[in-house]
Amino acid sequence: MEQYIIRGGNPLVGEVEIGGAKNAALGILAAAIMTDDTVLIENLPDVRDINVLLEAMESIGVKVDRISRHAALLNSEHVGEVSVEYEYIKKIRASYYLIGALLGKYKKAEVPLPGGCNIGSRPIDLHLKGFKALGAKVSIRNGFIIAQADHLHGSHIFLDTVSVGATINIMMAASMADGYTIIENCAREPHVVDVANFLNSMGANIKGAGTDVIRIRGVQKLHKTEYSIIPDQIEAGTFMFAAAATKGDVMVKNVIPKHLEATTAKLLEIGCEVEEFDSAVRVVASKRLHSTNVKTLPYPGYPTDMQPQIGVTLALAQGTSIVTESIFENRFKYMDELARMGAVVRVEGNTAIITGVEKLSAARVCAPDLRAGAALVIAALAAEGVSTVDDIIYIQRGYECFEEKLRGLGAEIERINSEKEAQKFLLRIV
């Protein structure tokens, strides 16, 4: 089992390049099957979730040509299957985007029902409600969602909860429905806009993405395109908090600063300096940070995917902070691990009360999920001594070359697979 071994205590200093947005890429890759033409997708992150989705797509007949580490040509002319195997959805929930894409193009999809996950129960009732409103019959049989329609028609859909997944999934299916669809109370996340832009570049007619009302005029056919995915705002935000927690000075490059506003606002509030450039942000933490309160909300609010990163940073800030998680019910599991590093934290329901300590101490901790795993790496980088982080397979789902990028900023971190490799690291750092 791979682990990270980390000697903390050094401020992170330097420059880091951010890759393409994983969550945008998941939607865009699925949407690429909606044309028979070849599609070029660039700025694709080389992370596990993306590679598993590409395998799932190959399994239904999509021809995937990874022309470079960050670019792929996809051709879906010979998609012979509309049924995706459980093996893939088990590894990556977002393969549910294949329902919207297959239903839109082939008017039929069979995809295993995704289960809950480490951050809580993840219903997809709103996705299904949207497909039904577009005229699909949706049933659940033997663990599969089966969605089919003779033809899809436009509809007026109101989403009860703001959902990124439902917005993207319904938008894809509606792009190839007959007539006009209005989706209200949509998610406004940058990756919703990116998927809409991608579909529009293939000939779809989607307006309003990025606002809470999306209007779609269905088209019969989509065509080839070349498209570059937006930078990953969560990867960027993770490095911004890594700079803050280690009292560092990091230039985070290849970002869209506008997408990082909620993160930037919180960093300023706790006492960091944040400088914005056209496609970079620089975070400097020259003194001890101070407490704040934060509540996760749909975009443009503070992202739930950045909650653990601010949580570990506040564990070192002066004063008491309150972190409220309003999107997923089980996103504080990392707090127990953080407490093992000396943090003073108390979780009550969807609220964590954190009283900052001067220093965290090294410990062996376990990544409970993707973002919390990255946050524990930040905690270990800030802590005195040598920590190990177990279960880093979660982190690899969404961060490309995480340890290499951190090493580029002066971190002492190594990915290890055995006690012998741990010993080698320890010998090297003494």
Residues marked as catalytic: 117
From the list 164, 186, 378, 406, which residue makes contact with ligand UD1 (rule: CB under 6 A)?
164
User: Considering only 38-46, 83-91, 125-133, 261-269, which stretch makes contact with ligand UD1 by CB under 6 A?
Assistant: 125-133
Q: How far is the CB of 301 from ligand UD1 (least distance, A)?
A: 10
Q: Quick one: 94 or 209, whose CB is closer to ligand UD1? A: 94
Amino acid at 136: A
Q: Quick one: 239 or 425, whose CB is closer to ligand UD1? A: 239
Question: Roughly what angle, to the nearest 10 degrees, separates helices 233-245 and 22-31?
Answer: 170
E-state strands within 308-384: 320-324, 344-348, 351-355, 364-366
Q: How many CA atoms lie within 13 A of 236 on its CB side?
A: 31
328 neighbors 116 (Cβ within 8 angstroms): no
163 binds ligand UD1 per the rule CB under 6 A = yes
What are 404's two structure tokens?
Answer: 């290499």
What are 165's two structure tokens?
Answer: 């997944």
The C-alpha atoms of residue 216 and residue 226 are separated, in whole angstroms, by 21
33 closest CA partner among 225, 178, 231, 228: 225
From the list 79, 99, 103, 124, which residue makes contact with ligand UD1 (rule: CB under 6 A)?
124
User: Considering only 40-48, 70-78, 164-172, 306-314, which stretch makes contact with ligand UD1 by CB under 6 A?
Assistant: 164-172
Supply angle C-alpha 155, 157, 163, rounded to 5: 140
> Cα dist. 170→55, 98, 127 in Å?
23, 11, 6
Sign, CA torsion 12/229/194/127:
negative
H or E, element range at 63:
strand 63-68
Q: Residues in contact with ligand UD1, total (CB under 6 A)?
A: 20
Q: How far is the CB of 320 from ligand UD1 (least distance, A)?
A: 26
Residues 6 or more apart whose Cβ sits within 8 Å of residue 104: 34, 152, 172, 173, 174, 175, 176, 177
The C-alpha atoms of residue 361 and residue 53 are separated, in whole angstroms, by 38
127 binds ligand UD1 per the rule CB under 6 A = yes
**Residue 123 phi, psi dihedral angles, 5° rounding:** -65, 155
370 closest CA partner among 303, 298, 295, 425: 303
Q: Quick one: 124 or 386, whose CB is closer to ligand UD1? A: 124
122 closest CA partner among 365, 367, 369: 369
What are 391's two structure tokens?
Answer: 């279960």
Q: How far is the CB of 341 from ligand UD1 (least distance, A)?
A: 24
20 binds ligand UD1 per the rule CB under 6 A = no
Q: Quick one: 400 or 414, whose CB is closer to ligand UD1? A: 400
Q: How far is the CB of 273 from ligand UD1 (least distance, A)?
A: 28
94 binds ligand UD1 per the rule CB under 6 A = yes
304 closest CA partner among 48, 28, 101, 117: 117
From the list 166, 171, 335, 413, which residue makes contact with ligand UD1 (rule: CB under 6 A)?
166
165 binds ligand UD1 per the rule CB under 6 A = yes
Q: How far is the CB of 270 from ligand UD1 (least distance, A)?
A: 22
184 binds ligand UD1 per the rule CB under 6 A = no
From the list 34, 109, 126, 147, which residue makes contact with ligand UD1 (rule: CB under 6 A)?
126
The C-alpha atoms of residue 343 and residue 259 are separated, in whole angstroms, by 30
User: Considering only 119-127, 216-224, 241-249, 386-394, which stretch makes contact with ligand UD1 by CB under 6 A?
Assistant: 119-127
Instruction: Find the residue with minimal CB distance to ligand UD1.
Output: 165
109 binds ligand UD1 per the rule CB under 6 A = no
Map residue 356 onto helix, strand or coil.
coil
115 binds ligand UD1 per the rule CB under 6 A = no
Q: How far is the CB of 308 from ligand UD1 (least distance, A)?
A: 11
89 binds ligand UD1 per the rule CB under 6 A = no
187 binds ligand UD1 per the rule CB under 6 A = yes
**Please, which of residues 288-307 interact with ligand UD1 by CB under 6 A?**
303-305
183 neighbors 192 (Cβ within 8 angstroms): no
52 binds ligand UD1 per the rule CB under 6 A = no
Q: How far is the CB of 23 from ligand UD1 (least distance, A)?
A: 3
44 binds ligand UD1 per the rule CB under 6 A = no
The site for ligand UD1 (CB under 6 A) is made up of 23, 26, 94, 122-127, 161, 163-166, 187, 303-305, 327-328
